[in-house]
C-alpha cells in the first residue's frame, strides 16, 4: 500500500492508545468488504470511521477531505513502510522517536 505516516496527535493517541499509523488513500478507491461502519466527528471536524461491533479504528477523513486508512485495520500484508511522523509536539512524554525519519509538528 506504500507510505505509512505515524500521527502523534492527541486524538490519535486517545483513539489508538499510542500513535496511529495510516496510509493516505483516495476514499472512492477503497473497496470495503462490508460497509457497516460507524463514524464520529471530532472537535476539529475530522471524521473517524470505526467498526460498530469491535470498535476497531478503520479510517480518518480530515476536514479538508483528505482520507487515510488505519494500517492496523488491514489483515493482509501491506507492503507498507513508515516514512514520517506528524504532530510530534503532541506526542506522549514516554514516546521517543529514534528511527531518524522526518518529523513535523503539523500534518
Give the dihedral sign, CA 104/107/85/3.
negative
CATH, range 3-90: 2.170.150.70
**In the chain, domain spans:** 3-90
pLDDT averaged over every residue in the chain: 91
Structure-model confidence comparison of residues 63 and 30, the more confident one: 63
Global pTM value: 0.86
Element counts in the chain: helices (H) and strands (E): 1, 7
Contact (CB, 8 A) for 71 and 80: yes
Query: In the prediction, which pLDDT does 5 show?
Result: 96
| H-state helical runs in 1-107 | 10-16
For residue 28, name the pLDDT band (cuts at 50, 70, 90): confident
pLDDT at 99 over 80: yes
pLDDT, residue 41, reads 95
Q: Binning pLDDT at 50, 70 and 90, where does residue 44 land?
A: confident
Cβ–Cβ under 8 Å, residues 97 and 91: yes
User: What sign does the dihedral 98-83-86-56 (CA atoms) show?
Assistant: negative
Amino acid at each position: 500500500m506504500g507510505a505509512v505516516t505515524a500521527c502523534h496527535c492527541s486524538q490519535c493517541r486517545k483513539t489508538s492508545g499510542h500513535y496511529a499509523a495510516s496510509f493516505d488513500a483516495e476514499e472512492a478507491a477503497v473497496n470495503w468488504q462490508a460497509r457497516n461502519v460507524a463514524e464520529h466527528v471530532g472537535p476539529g471536524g475530522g471524521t473517524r470511521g470505526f467498526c460498530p461491533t469491535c470498535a476497531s479504528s478503520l479510517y480518518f477523513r480530515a476536514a479538508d477531505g483528505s482520507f487515510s486508512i488505519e494500517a492496523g485495520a488491514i489483515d493482509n500484508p501491506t507492503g507498507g513502510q513508515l516514512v514520517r511522523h506528524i504532530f510530534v509536539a503532541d506526542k506522549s512524554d514516554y514516546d521517543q522517536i529514534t528511527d531518524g525519519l522526518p518529523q513535523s509538528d503539523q500534518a
